[in-house]
């Protein structure tokens, strides 16, 4: 059971997540790490544009203050 | 009776809420968790576009500083 | 007499207020609660669009950092 | 003589001021109160649109972080 | 010689400066006061639009976090 | 293995990275330095526009709070 | 060798730098001073518009939180 928001991120480490940021960017990849600022590292990540893969990154760090939502 | 704003969130845990964010995104789902930054976790969430379901998420964390309002 | 800005919010608890936020959203309802971040809870609230009622909420929490102004 | 910026606000309490905010909103009214965040309360305020009165408020609190400038 | 950025503001008190803010507003006037947030007070100020005087203010306080640059 | 987001930056010093900022700017270059604000210094950097080199810089400091993501 | 981002600014004092800010403004001039907020003072500065000199300033202070990047 999730009792604090960051518990959801903790439960999601090693799993695939979707990260949507300001400026309408979307990334899908395996959550490797996060911190209290909601900075996240994804592995085997792809940047999505209207549901299609636009670019691929073996690793990527996304800055927390640009995040709108993260969904496992 | 609500005497502080976050009391309303506290009363709403386990109930359905609507979350509207900057960039005109709307989410409806069951409030599972929140924190002092107004980060919220919704369960069985749907992203709404002009009142229609656009996407579904079993769980989603929405970053507090993108929230405009939350309505139970 | 009002001597500090938040005194006006304090005097307005239980009364109808208009809250205008960034992104040109307007809400009218009974002020139930506020905090030092200017987060506010309205009861029997309506979201207004060009003066017309667009949506109704029995309760709503509006995030302080999206507020432009509040008028009792 | 003004030696610190907030001295100008202090001198302006009880006088008419113009407040211009982000999003190009303009308000004219009697300055009743302000605080260190530049939150201000105006009395007998009017919201101006291209120099014309658009709305009137007996009292209004304007959030400091939306202010661009204030002129007595 | 200027060794810290605010030294330039200190040297400019009593002199004419140009202040350019977010949202492309420009103000010219005599710098009367500033503080650590870069809030500034100008005297005999004019708001400029494409190099032309648009409005005149005997005194004006401009909020620091809207400033892009200040030039003596 | 990456266990905190900044570990990825640490592992990337001396390697080529892509930095994407708000306002849709992209930079590619060798990561020379970073700090806790995610300010980064790139060497032999190029600013990219739609995948093409637009400008070249022998060294460049990019401000952390404009960063959206960094990919090694 | 640069080991922290601000070292690059330190090395650049007295040299010509390019400063690019939010809102797509560009300035070229001699770096005279900077502080921890990345506020910078340029001397013999010119504001550039599409590579052309638009305005000249003998001295200018640019607010750090509007900076996107600085290149020596």
Round to whole Å and give the CA distance between E11 and F17: 42
Query: Is the pLDDT confidence value at B59 over 80?
Result: yes
Local confidence band at C66 (pLDDT 50, 70, 90 cut-offs) = very high
Over 90: is that where the pLDDT of F1 sits?
no
Our answer on whether F and B touch (3+ beta-carbon pairs < 8 Å) is no
Query: What's the pLDDT score for residue D2?
Result: 52
Per-residue burial over G15-24, b if 16 or more Cβ lie within 10 Å, else e, is eebbbbbbee
Q: What is the pLDDT of residue D1?
A: 45
- Per DSSP (E only), the strands in G1-72 are 16-21, 25-34, 40-49, 52-62, 67-71
Residues of chain C whose C-beta is under 8 A from some C-beta in B?
A: 21-23, 25, 27, 32-35, 39-41, 43, 45, 57-63, 65-66
Please tell me the distance in Å from A7's CA to the nearest CA on chain B. 9
The answer, yes or no, to whether residue C28 has pLDDT greater than 90, is yes
Which residues in chain A come in under a pLDDT of 70? Answer: 1-2
- The tokens describing G59, both together, are 């001295």
Q: What CATH number does the domain located at C5-71 have? A: 2.30.30.100
**What are the per-10-residue average pLDDT scores of chain E (72 residues)?**
83 96 93 96 94 92 97 96
Q: What is the 3-state composition of chain E as percent helix, strand, coil, each rounded to the nearest 5?
A: 15, 60, 25
pLDDT tens for D2-26 read 579 999 999 999 999 999 999 889 9
Q: pLDDT averaged over chain F?
A: 93
**3-class DSSP state for residue D26?**
strand
If you measure CA to CA, which chain G residue comes closest to F45? G71
Q: Which residues pair with B34 in a beta bridge?
A: B40
Burial of B26 (0-12, 13-18, 19+ CB in 10 A): middle
Q: Do the chains contact at F24 and A25, CB–CB below 8 Å?
A: no
The pLDDT of residue B2 is above 80: no
Roughly how many angstroms between the first and final C-alpha of chain D, as a whole number? 14
**Given an 8 Å threshold on Cβ–Cβ distance, is A21 in contact with F68?**
yes
| Distance, first Cα to last Cα, chain G | 15
- What band does C2 get if pLDDT is binned at 50, 70 and 90? low
- Which regions of chain G are under pLDDT 70? 1-2
pLDDT digits (tens, 9 = 90+) for D53-72: 889 999 999 999 999 999 99
Res D48 pLDDT > 50: yes
| Mean pLDDT, residues C44-61 | 92
Question: What's the pTM value of the predicted model, to 2 decimals?
Answer: 0.93
pLDDT for F2 beyond 60? no
Q: Which of B23, B68, B65, D29 is nearest to C21 (CA)?
A: B68
Instruction: Show me where the domains of chain F are located.
Output: 5-71
B37, B41, B67, best to mutate vs chain A, most A CBs in 10 Å: B41
């Amino acid at each position: 059971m999730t009792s604090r928001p960051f518990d959801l991120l903790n439960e999601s480490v090693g799993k695939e997540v979707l990260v949507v940021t300001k400026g309408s960017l979307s990334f899908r990849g395996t959550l490797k790490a996060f911190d209290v600022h909601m900075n996240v590292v994804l592995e085997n990540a792809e940047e999505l544009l209207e549901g299609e893969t636009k670019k691929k990154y073996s690793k990527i760090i996304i800055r927390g203050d640009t995040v709108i939502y993260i969904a496992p």
